[in-house]
Structure 1
Amino acid sequence: MPHPSTHLRTGAATADVGDPDWQQWSHAWTRHIPVLTGRTDLTVTVAPGAGGGAPACFYPDQRRIEVDATHIGTPDVANPRRAGHKRLVPTAYGLLVHEAAHAAHSQWRTPPGTPPVVAAVAELLEESRIEHRQRTRRRGDRRWLRHTVTTLISPADAPVDDPWHAAHLAGLLLARVDARIITAKDTRGVRAAITAILGRTILKQLRDVWRQAHSIDDTDADGMRDLAWRWCHILGIDPQQQPQPPQPDPGMFAGRLAQALTDYLAHAAGLTPAQYRAQRINSRFRAPATWTRRDPTDAERAAARHLAARLRHARTHQPEPDSRPSLIPPGRLRTRHAITAQAQIAAGTIPTATPWQRRTHLPPPKPTLHLAVIVDVSFSMHPYAAPMSSAGWILAHAARASDAITTTIAFGSDVTLLIGPRQRPTHVQEMNTFGGSSTFGDAVKLADELLQLRQPGRLRMLAVVSDGDLDDIPATQRLISTLHRAGCAVMWLRPADLDGHTFTDTTTVLVTDPVQAIGHIADAAVTALEQA
């Protein structure tokens, strides 16, 4: 189940992650934790990388809470021995409160023999249950728990629009409304998206489950397990036949659930959805350190200027008859505007009215081209690394000069955002070929997130440079077909000397010279604008 809230660790703790620079925080919060939990046998470790892969976690067997110091910043940002420090680090302190709620109220263990899917649902229900209990016991802690919601939840919690993930998102967010941690107003968009997928009847039944969970005793393992079984039954899942939580289809794009969750997280962070997406993408995708940078050559600068000129010409070709207003004749007099101009002159102001309508030839309006270039950097694509590195720089600079938006993404064993939308890189980033080609789907989804390739009403194009020898051919085909049906043109540039797969719903071009790939992408972009 793809959610980061699996921070109640019932196994052995990791090795000591203490950091001398953070000892003051660890000691101060260890002294403070009895106030939050009513327990005197707990220790708190604050350090970079603490939390067992989550922002924070609780190890009940070791009676230890860990908080990742990343959510604090630097050790000197506040004095943790002073009561007012929590206002300077509200998210980190909220994480401490959340784990304190686990320490105080997660007193049950999953009964032996429980199917994994049932155990996963029980863990989900536990998240809002322990926060409800903590708020009931210490009402002021709600303020800090609100800060943790955006840290413990991410768009990965709603990867696709299916009943399982809609219910999962409901259990993460809507259940916290009934726990009185966040408000119904906060989750209005999320509730609408969930209701559209589940329907009101199923959502009401699920709500009854989590509200009953909020009243379950802290030690009632059987009660939590029974509610988790009921949750699966409502969703039509047989835990005996489907022991593991349903996994999203890698060939599906994120839908309304992810959009609604992104809007919620952006609002909670005080950002627009676009700003939030950009912030999240910048933190997730960075060029590997092994990639090198160099200055662009004179030939690359000339190619960028030439392509920009071609794109501008494509946007302004074939002027058409039209008319436009004018301050002076010749033309047809517009009486109402002429009276307005005379009144402005009589009032002693500079006239802004345009009393004359003049016939002229104007270029037809052209849409903005949104072009995503995805490059395969698996080992077999070595000859294309250098020319496509050059192409990324050329396209970015040509786009800035011709009212186009481009992005260049590489995929291999990982996804790398080489050049983001509206960036004008000062250096050419030389791609190195490495590893396999398992992340094509993630690269396409990133391109869609950056340029909204499935959004109608705009000119969109995806250019892929790859031999097509990918790990999951059916999932790749589903992604391409989805883009094609949405009106996004897909061009596939495939090396002629390499065996690979040819996908439907694409314009496939066999390339004999790697340098030709640059020209093919440029020609396709110009053609798309001319035919728009």
Structure 2
Amino acid sequence: MPLSSTHVRTSHPSTTGGDPDWQPWSDAWTRHIPVLTDRRDLQVTVAPGAGGDAPACFYPDARRIEVDATHIGAPTITDPRRPGHKRLVPTAYGLLVHEAAHATHSLWRTPPGTPPVVAAVADLLEESRAENRQRGRRRADRRWLRHAVTHLLNPDGAPVDDPWHAGQLAALLLARVDARIITAKDITGVRAAVTAVIGRPRLRQLRDVWRHAHTVGDSEGEQMIDLAWRWCRILGIDPHQQPAPPRPDLGVFAGQLAQALTDYLAHTAGVTPAEYTAQQVADRHGPPATWTRRDPTDAERAAARHLAARLRRARTHQPEPDTRPSPIPPGRLRTRHAITAKAQAAAGTTPTATPWQRRTTLPPPKPALHLAVLVDTSGSMRAYAAPMSAAGWILAHAARTNQATTAMIGFGSRATVLVPPRQQPAKVLQIAAVGGTTAFIEAVKLADQLLGLRQPGRLRMLAVVSDGDLPDIEPAQRLITTLHQAGCAVLWLRPADLAGHTFRHTTTLLAADPVQAVDAIADAAVTALERA
């Protein structure tokens, strides 16, 4: 769902039908809600579609909390009467905790006549204020609140490209850092992107507002409304001239903020931003259903092992003197570690301390290799389809143990992710070479998105297997020049028997056959590591 919050509603609750399959959940959570709120007058309804247009909501007049059962799944997934059930439905339980925070601490009402924009800002500020109060009263609830926040954000649906929506993002994420629901590390990218839109001085002023809101009492609605007016003044929004929250005005920072949200979601999911992006991109640029997969042959498995060994030697071809700890002599005695080892032995545990330090030779530090391979899948490259299919599998498996990241992308009438980065496919995807060549620029931009080809601090290479007969020569040349100037080497492998275009700022090799093209890519990767 798009970036949004759950809501306190002053209207009457929805008329969601009472699904008998979900009645045990409604009953169990109604019995449980006094634990979260210290209130015994609340009713909880769990049903598909409950909560209106939000995942959950609280109706103070009806003293009712609704949670959309969509975030649970099936009613038989667990027994809601058991204390441990919340671990199986952490998002839904986090929603229940969030609404419990509103039921306990959101006791103020928006005064009649308040402009809609001001009321919307006050609601945004109330999100982190109520959670802050709930966490202060029940510290264990932070776990569930954080889980709900991290699983209900979607960077694709969040319009965050103007001051209003950048401020919304700040209120929903940055303010939760000061509320101690999420951490500053979680949203480093978000903070930078918001700053790029509204500037550091205004962000500091907004932070003063939400930190002030965290100190406002549960019934002090006038203060919350005053803070909302102040928020609007900081962002330059006139509530009298703006009848509703502003619509986004697409601008240059849209991609930056979307990337910041991607960084945040990747961190909370326990993966790198590149891995998170790769999965999202693979979903959008997956191969056609008509393309088949097969088991790798013994020769392909052997080729992957051989290339892995070559990459490993390239990283360690010039060992340098260094020192490393050791549990046994010879070497220099490290007194503190020796004492620790004796204490561990005296306690009857296996010693893990390393009392000795010996001279040794270690491989020099090498930057990680990021290699993108672009394969022309037009009809003229049909002879290269089979060997390049195998090359994608071989490269992915060879990179696994060598601190390298590879990705293979096909370009024909569309860009297709053949092998996503940081994945070792079990089967070989067999490329079908048909149609024309119109998606080269899209494929290069996709490779840059997946592997950061313009990002310094890493060893980057783009290998293209194509005759170079592209319909957009000049835009393609500008893109290649941009990569070259950013420090990314471009290797272009052109079939010797096909006429085509030769691009500047590339190392262009004429491949006599498809196997030679595959070998040339492997040789270039090894050479790049040896020279790094």
TM-score bracket, normalised by the shorter chain, equals 0.5 to 0.7
Displacement of 1:253: 6.8
Q: Distance in 1 between matches of 2:254 and 2:525?
A: 26
Name the CA distance, whole Å, in 1 between partners of 2:477 and 2:17: 44
- Structure 1 residue aligned with 2:427: 427
In structure 2, give the amino acid aligned to 1:129: E
Name the CA shift for 1:461/1:339 in 2 (closer, same or farther; >3 Å): closer
Distance in 1, matches of 2:444 and 2:526, equals 27
In the TM superposition, what is the alpha-carbon distance from 1:110 to its structure 2 partner?
Answer: 13
Q: Is the 8 A contact 1:369 1:458 kept in 2?
A: yes
State how far apart, in whole Å, the 2-side matches of 1:110 and 1:413 are: 54
- Counterpart selection for 2:233 from 218, 230, 244: 230
Counterpart-to-counterpart distance in 2, 1:41 and 1:261:
34
Cα distance in 2 between the residues matched to 1:4 and 1:513: 51
Structure 1 gaps of 5+ residues are: 326-336, 342-351
Residue 528 of structure 1 deviates from its aligned partner by: 2.5
CA distance in 1, matches of 2:252, 2:478: 10
- AA of the residue aligned to 2:233: R
Map of 2:129 onto structure 1: 132
Match of 1:44 in 2: 46
Identity fraction in percent: 47
Partner of 2:447: 444
| Aligned CA distance change for structure 1 residues 323 and 283 (closer, same or farther; 3 Å) | closer
Cα distance in 1 for partners of 2:88, 2:292 equals 39
- In structure 1, the residue matched to 2:207 is 207
Q: Which residue in the other structure is 2:152 paired with?
A: 152
- Mapping of 1:47-446 within 5 angstroms? 56-58=55-57, 65-67=66-68, 69=70, 72=72, 75-76=75-76, 78-81=78-81, 85-86=85-86, 89-98=89-98, 126-133=123-130, 136=133, 139-140=137-138, 143=142, 144-153=144-153, 167-178=167-178, 180-182=179-181, 193=192, 197=196, 200-210=200-210, 226=229, 229-233=232-236, 244-247=247-250, 249=252, 257=260, 261=264, 265-266=267-268, 274=272, 278=275, 285=282, 290=289, 291-297=291-297, 300-301=300-301, 303-304=303-304, 307=307, 311=311, 368-374=368-374, 386-400=386-400, 404-409=404-409, 416=417, 418-421=419-422, 423-431=423-431, 440=443, 443-444=446-447, 446=449
CA contact (8 A) 1:90 1:147 kept: yes
Measured after TM superposition, the shift of residue 28 of structure 1 is 4.1
Match of 1:346 in 2: none
Relative to 1, partners in 2 of residues 1:4 and 1:253: Cα closer, same or farther, differing over 3 Å?
Answer: closer
Shift of 1:390: 1.8
Letter in 2 for 1:406: T
Amino acid at match of 1:132: R
Is residue 209–residue 231 contact of structure 1 (8 Å, CA) maintained in 2?
Answer: no
Partner of 1:349: none
Residue 348 of structure 1: aligned partner:
none
Distance 1:522 1:146 in 2: 45
Question: What displacement does 1:456 show?
Answer: 4.0
2:419 is matched by which residue type in structure 1?
A: L
> Taking structure 1 as the reference length, what is the TM-score of the superposition?
0.60
What does 1:498-509 align with in structure 2 at a 5 Å threshold?
A: none
1:323 and 1:308, CA in 2 relative to 1: closer, same or farther beyond 3 A? closer
What is the 5 A alignment of 1:459-474? Answer: 459-464=459-464
Q: Which runs of 5+ in 2 are unaligned?
A: 324-328, 334-355
What per-residue deviation string (whole Å, max 9, x for no partner) do you get for residues 65-110 of structure 1? 443655x576555432456644664432112333566797897799
**Paired position in structure 1 for 2:343:** none
Find the aligned partners of 1:324 and 1:391 in 2 and give their Cα distance. 37
